[in-house]
Every structure is written in structure tokens, then in C-alpha cells.
Amino acid sequence: MDTRHTVIDPGLAWLDAFCEPGYRVTFAHRVAPRELLTRMGADPATFRRRDAAAAEQAQAQLAWGLSVARAGLHEGWAYAVESTGGHGSGRETLRRVSCGTRALALLRAADGGWGFVLAEEGEVVATRESVSAGRGAGALGDWPWRVGLLGLLAEEPASGQGAGVGARLLALADGALGARLPREQVEWGWLVSAEVGDVCPPAAPVGIGPGVPAPARGRPQGVGAGPGPGVVTGPEGAAS
């Protein structure tokens, strides 16, 4: 195995700065952007074009577990970018996305954690964990090592390389699969978008359960009146 690190283009580091504090990028080969969103679970009736600012406004109004994914097409690969949420990097989602093709998901979490998942023909064939354990990397080959991802601690770059996680993840997609994320489209383009993910149910109130009395009615002392859960108190951000 070639253990030499590939020189990372510092220009690839833009994704970490653009999508703070984290992101999910999903690639699918020879799939249309709308089809990619549909495979990720989006309702085609909700598709609309958004730029990055409009997506951020829409994201702020979503329930926990949902995210706005913006999708485009570049050099034969559809891509979907989420600045929050983890739906695009889920293994079950990627299995659906990869039916009849190849798909790759890249993840950079808010806590500095990161990962990747490769799926082909509906089956997951490589993850960060499997590759780290020495199992097959599929079409990724030795690229996780070549770009210095494995063994990388959060934002700490490999010795002498000076490139962060985002640059290395994009170098992995480019080097192994030829999947490239077009910066100009992602930063400035009006791309087709939709909500993806699953709403996380709220935790049961304390005191509610079999044989447990419900708390007294009314608000806790010192808590003022306000709108109920899910009530929008301001105008919705609209994007044309």
C-alpha cells in the first residue's frame, strides 16, 4: 500500500469555512439532482430553487432532524449539500441513493468528528470505520490513506500537510471517484432544494407514563405565556 500522502490543494478548504459548523455532502454517479433528492427522501412537490442564504433561512424554521439539501450536477455526478443534519450521510439513505449506481457521503460534524460512506448497487462497501480496521475500501482504494484522513484527529492536520478535514474529504472524493464539488455553484448558485430527514420526536414530559401522575395543569411559576410548540412568530423567509 502506498503510504505517501498526496499533496492537498489548499483551495479545497473552502467547504469548512462555508458550512460552519458542519455539513453533509452526498454524491451519486449519473443521477439527476432531483432524483438524488427524491432518493434521499424528499417530496418532489416541495422542490424549490434556493441560494445559500435562502436555504439558511429555511433551515432555521425546520424541526430538529430535518435539513435543507441543495442539489446540482457537475461532471456526471449529482451532489447534495446540507449545512446541518445527518440524513445524507446515513447508511440506509445511501443504500437507496446508490441503487443502480455508486454513491458517496462525506460528513463533518459540529463536534469535529468526520466520516465517509461509500455504497454501490444498494450496498455499503466502505466506511471510515471499516477502512480504518483494514477491511476493503472498495473503489476508494488507498485514497483514505493518501489524503491523510485515517488517523487524523478532528481539525488537526497530518504532519506537514496543513490541510483540514474538509479539504481532505473533497480530495478523497476527487481522487478516488472523480466526484468534484463545484464551489461557485454551491456558494452562489440557485439550486434545486428540498427538506430531507426525519423529525425527531420530543422526549416525553417528566411525570408522564404508566402509573405516574401527570403534573399539575398550568405553567411553572415564573414562566410567562408564549406561543405553543411549532408556532411561527415571525414572517417566513421566502425564496423565489
Taking only the tens place, the pLDDT of each residue in 88-145 is 458 999 999 999 999 999 998 877 788 999 999 999 999 999 998 888 888 999 999 9
Phi, psi of 207 (to 5 degrees): 95, -5
Look up the pTM and report it. Answer: 0.77
Q: Which pLDDT belongs to residue 17?
A: 86
Is the pLDDT at 5 greater than 90? The verdict is no
Coil/strand/helix, residue 212:
strand
Distances (CA, A) of 86 to 2, 41, 129, 196: 32, 13, 17, 9
Listed by start position, the domains of the chain span 10-197
Taking only the tens place, the pLDDT of each residue in 20-59 is 778 999 999 999 999 999 999 999 999 999 999 999 999 9
Taking only the tens place, the pLDDT of each residue in 190-214 is 999 999 987 555 444 444 334 434 3
For the chain, give the longest Cα–Cα distance. 67
What is the spatial distance between Cα 24 and Cα 227, in angstroms, rounded to a whole number? 32
